[in-house]
Amino acid sequence: MPLAGLGVAGKESGAHAGCAAPCRSSSPIRTRTTGATAPLPTDPKFFLLASQPRAEALLRPGGRCLEPPGSPPIPRALHPWSAPTVSPEAHPLPPLIPSSLTGREVLTPFPGLGTAAAPAQGGAHLKQCDLLKLSRRQKQLCRREPGLAETLRDAARLGLLECQFQFRQERWNCSLEGRTGLLKRGFKETAFLYAVSSAALTHALARACSAGRMERCTCDDSPGLQSRQAWQWGVCGDNLKYSTKFLSNFLGPKRGSKDLRARVDAHNTHVGIKAVKSGLRTTCKCHGVSGSCAVRTCWKQLAPFRETGEVLKLRYDSAVKVSSATNEALGRLELWAPSKPGSPAKGLAPRPGDLVYLEDSPSFCRPSKYSPGTAGRVCSREASCGSLCCGRGYDTQSRLVAFSCHCQVQWCCYVECQQCVQEELVYTCKH
Query: What digits encode the pLDDT tens for the residues 156-172?
Result: 999 999 999 999 999 99
C-alpha–C-alpha distance, residues 198 and 244, integer Å: 10
Find, among 227, 247, 245, 246, the residue nearest to 237 by Cα: 227
Cis peptide before 129 (omega within 30 of 0): no
Q: Are strands 414-429 and 65-66 parallel, antiparallel or unpaired?
A: antiparallel
Cβ atoms < 10 Å from Cβ of 100: 14
Residue 356: beta bridge partners?
A: 320
Beta strands in 34-124 (DSSP E): 34-39, 65-66, 82-86, 96-97
pTM above 0.75, yes or no: no
Q: Phi, psi (5° rounding) for residue 191?
A: -60, -45
How far is residue 186's CA from residue 358's CA, in Å, rounded to a whole number? 5
CA 11 from chain centre, in angstroms, equals: 6
Name the stretches of the chain with pLDDT < 50.
7-120, 224-233, 255-256
Q: For residue range 96-115, list pLDDT tens digits in order.
A: 333 333 333 322 233 233 33
Question: Given the DSSP bridges, would you call strands 378-379 and 414-429 parallel, antiparallel or unpaired?
Answer: antiparallel
